[in-house]
């Protein structure tokens, strides 16, 4: 009898410990759920049809980000709808990290179109953590289906970080090549346990489960950031397709790159190929950057030359803000574009887009 009572008692104690742990951690730790999905075509990508919960109790921050069935932020737009389409590509800045759905650049720009009776709509294909390779692939596989008249591409910076992802790159013939990431133990675990949005949300909202799964990820896949910092190649992916060139003669073989010089080389090659591809399609390219693009002279010179050739229009967004005025950051206190900044950005983009019609 005592043994029969002991097991339920232990279960109750464990449940009490878990509930108390969740309560304490919820008051002290931030979370985002569901966090990014993972697919071979892009690596990290937002879950489809999701309400992404993002919170940081330390700064009293809580936000919801909405994605549709095609995994991009905002309401779904039918590619066959009659409106003229403006496609936005970028990372968490364009995605609107830290901001509610109605404060993103694309939402505000669409509202300006409606206010002025313009049959136009802005579509947000940006994704947090994405770099040019993923952005270009997203345009080719999805953005191009909308037959846009304009693409707005935001350049953040050339960085090493945990590595830049080149699932799209420009070959020696200035053609854009797409390739998939190969799977490892970390991504296989994700496919098994976290490919379902509901399960991923549950795991993301539960701090205890998140701590457990994070520990398992580290055991299976190793600590990505520390390995990259130590210049280990174990998580640097290679194409799943065969190539006749050896790695010594084809430095494009590796998909994940941690070197900033190689990242800049690839960015320049792919930007040139992408700008030419859009030109052939009759699509206007607006290239946004901060004034710190001057810190990468080769890229800055390339952008200048592409603009002179009529392949893009370069806009330095610092010029759009009042001199000496620092707009409030997004409520997450990490991203610099708060509500006032996205208003200024959308208004300036509206004028640029409409002035050359």
Q: List the domain range (segments joined by +) for residue 132.
A: 66-182+237-355
pLDDT of 340 above 60: yes
What pLDDT score was predicted for residue 65? Answer: 95
Split at pLDDT 50, 70, 90, the class of 195 is: low
pTM of the model: 0.83
Question: Is there a domain that residue 313 lies in?
Answer: yes
Percentage with pLDDT > 90 across the chain:
52
pLDDT of residue 13: 85
Cis peptide bond prior to 205, omega within 30° of 0: no
pLDDT digits (tens, 9 = 90+) for 157-192: 776 556 789 999 999 999 999 999 987 655 665 665
Q: Is residue 208 part of a domain?
A: no
93-152 pLDDT per residue, tens: 999 999 999 999 999 999 999 999 999 999 999 999 999 999 999 999 999 999 999 999
* Residue 23, domain member (yes or no): no
Lowest mean pLDDT among 21-30, 104-113, 136-145, 270-279: 21-30
Residue 194 in any domain: the answer is no
- C-alpha dihedral over 35, 40, 42, 47, to 10 degrees? -30
Assign residue 289 the CATH number of its domain: 3.40.50.1110
Q: Which is it for the CA torsion 78, 347, 152, 51, positive or negative?
A: negative
> In the prediction, which pLDDT does 194 show?
62
pLDDT of residue 246: 35
Q: What value does the mean pLDDT take over residues 239-245?
A: 40
Residues pairing with 53 in the sheet: 33, 64
Pair 313, 306: CB distance under 8 Å: no
pLDDT given at position 334 = 81
Per-residue pLDDT band at 252 (split at 50, 70, 90): confident
Rounded to an integer, the average pLDDT of 11-25 is 77
Kindly state whether residue 87 falls inside one of the protein's structural domains.
yes
First-to-last C-alpha distance (Å) of the chain: 83
Q: pLDDT band at 70, cuts 50/70/90?
A: very high
In a domain, 106, yes or no: yes
pLDDT at residue 240 tops 80: no
Domain assignment of residue 38, yes or no? no
Average pLDDT over residues 19-45: 77
Alpha carbon distance 254, 274 (integer Å): 20
Query: What's the pLDDT at 28?
Result: 61
Contact (CB, 8 A) for 11 and 36 = no
Q: What 3 state SS string does the chain have?
A: CHHHHHHHHHHHHHHHHHHHHHHHHHHHCCEEECCCEEECCCEEECCCCCEEEEEEHHHCEEEEEEECCCCCECCCCCCCCCCEEEEEECCHHHHCCCCCHHHCHHHHHHHHHHHCCCCEEEEECCCCCCCHHHHHHHHHHCHHHHCCCEEEEECCCCCCCCCEECCEEECCCCCEEECCCCCCHHHHHHHHHCCCHHHHHHHHHCHHHHHHHHHHHHHHHCCHHHHHHCCCCCCCCCCCCCCCCCCCCCCCCCCEECCHHHHHHHHHHHHHHHHHHHHHHCCEEEEEECHHHHHCHHHHHHHHHHHHCCCCEEEEHHHHCCCCCCCCCCCCCCCCCCHHHHHHHHHHHHHHHHHCC
Average pLDDT, the chain: 82
For the chain, what is the domain count?
1
Q: Are 66 and 73 in contact (CB under 8 A)?
A: yes
Given a cut of 90, whether residue 353 has pLDDT beyond it is yes
| Per-residue pLDDT, 153 | 98
| Residue at 73 is within a domain | yes
In this model, does residue 343 exceed pLDDT 80? yes
Q: Name the most confidently modeled range: 43-47, 208-212, 301-305.
A: 301-305
């Amino acid at each position: 009898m005592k043994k029969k009572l002991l097991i339920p008692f232990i279960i109750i104690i464990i449940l009490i410990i878990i509930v108390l742990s969740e309560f304490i951690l919820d008051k002290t730790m931030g979370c985002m759920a569901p966090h990014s999905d993972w697919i071979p075509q892009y690596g990290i990508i937002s879950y489809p049809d999701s309400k992404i919960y993002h919170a940081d109790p330390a700064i009293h921050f809580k936000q919801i980000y909405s994605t549709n069935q095609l995994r991009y932020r905002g309401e779904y737009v039918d590619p066959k709808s009659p409106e003229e389409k403006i496609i936005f590509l970028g990372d968490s800045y364009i995605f609107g990290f830290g901001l509610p759905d109605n404060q993103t650049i694309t939402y505000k720009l669409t509202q300006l179109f409606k206010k002025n009776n313009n049959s136009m709509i802005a579509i947000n294909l940006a994704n947090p953590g994405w770099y040019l390779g993923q952005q270009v692939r997203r345009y080719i596989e999805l953005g191009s289906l909308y037959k846009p008249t304009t693409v707005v591409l935001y350049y953040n910076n050339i960085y090493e970080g945990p590595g830049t992802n080149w699932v799209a790159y420009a070959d020696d013939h200035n053609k854009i090549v797409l390739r998939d990431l190969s799977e490892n133990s970390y991504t296989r675990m994700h496919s098994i346990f976290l490919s379902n949005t509901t399960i991923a949300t549950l795991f993301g909202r539960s701090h205890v489960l998140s701590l457990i799964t994070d520990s398992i990820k580290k055991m299976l896949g190793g600590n990505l950031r520390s390995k990259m910092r130590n210049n280990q190649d174990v998580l640097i992916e290679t194409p799943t397709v065969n190539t006749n060139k050896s790695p010594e003669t084809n430095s494009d073989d590796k998909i994940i790159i941690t070197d900033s010089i190689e990242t800049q080389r690839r960015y320049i090659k792919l930007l040139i190929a992408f700008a030419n591809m859009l030109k052939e399609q009759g699509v206007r390219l607006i290239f946004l950057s901060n004034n710190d693009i001057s810190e990468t002279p080769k890229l800055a010179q390339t952008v200048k030359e592409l603009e002179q050739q009529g392949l893009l229009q370069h806009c330095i967004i610092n010029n759009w803000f009042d001199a000496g005025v620092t707009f409030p950051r997004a409520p997450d206190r990490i991203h610099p574009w708060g509500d006032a900044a996205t208003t200024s950005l959308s208004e300036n983009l509206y004028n640029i887009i409409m002035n050359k019609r």
